[in-house]
Structure 1
Amino acid sequence: MVRLPLTPADVERGARLGALLRRARGARSMLEIALAAEISPETLRKIESGRVATPAFPTIAAVAAVLDLSLDAVWAEISQPEPARTSRQRMAS
């Protein structure tokens, strides 16, 4: 099976997913959440860091359930594009 390269939008969406999961996890440990979701802590670490930008749906569903996030809320947050930056903001980065 050939895996297509990720688009910049895929990478951005993966970063937003990771940030959402980190915020929802709060002070709870990565190990606690991963074990409850029945995934490896390394998988959760990769998703939260954006290294896995397109995790499998069952993985997202399991983590969202443990964090008490609805899949609708997850999709609504990660599918929103970042606000457009002005050329001055891009030059400052």
Structure 2
Amino acid sequence: MVRLPLTGEEVERGQRLGALLRRARADRPMLEVALEAQVSPETLRKIETGRIATPAFPTIAAIAGVLGLSLDAVWAEISHPAGGARPDAPERLSPERLAS
């Protein structure tokens, strides 16, 4: 199976996802979150650092669930660059607002 190179947009979205997960994890140990989400700590680390820019949906769903994040809010947060927000988009979401 040949994997196509990632687009710049996919790489940037992966970086936004990683930053969001790091903020939501806050002071919780990476190992604790990874084990609870049933992913390896290495996978979580790679997602948080943007090295895995397009993780599988079930992986993100599991991590988001452990962190108490709404998948709709996660998508809204990562799908648009900070400087290019949609006119109808709310202000950038804090981890507290993502959980709602």
Please give the range of the TM-score, normalised by the shorter of the 2 chains. 0.7 to 0.9
* Partner residue in 2 for 1:75: 75
**What is the match of residue 3 of structure 1?**
3
RMSD of the TM alignment (CA)? 0.9
Shift of 1:15: 0.2
Separation in structure 2 between the aligned mates of residue 80 and residue 12 of structure 1, nearest angstrom: 9
- Looking at structure 1, the residues matched to 2 and 82 of structure 2 have their Cα atoms a distance apart, in angstroms, of 29
1:1-46 deviation line (CA, Å, top 9, x unaligned): 2111000000000000000000000100000000000000000000
C-alpha separation between the residues in 2 aligned to 1:74 and 1:30? Answer: 19
| TM-score after normalising by structure 1 | 0.88
The amino acid across from 2:9 in the alignment is: A
Q: Sequence identity, in percent?
A: 76
Is 1:16 matched with 2:16?
yes
Residue aligning to 1:41? 41
Aligned equivalents of 1:46, 1:34: Cα separation in 2: 12
Moved over 3 A (4+): none
Question: How many aligned residue pairs are there?
Answer: 84
Gaps of 5+ in 2: 85-100
Q: Give secondary structure in 2 for the equivalent of 1:34.
A: helix
Look up the match of 2:65.
65
TM-score normalised by length of structure 2 = 0.82
Give structure 1 stretches of 5+ with no counterpart. 85-93
Quote the Cα distance in structure 2 between the aligned partners of 1:24 and 1:51: 18
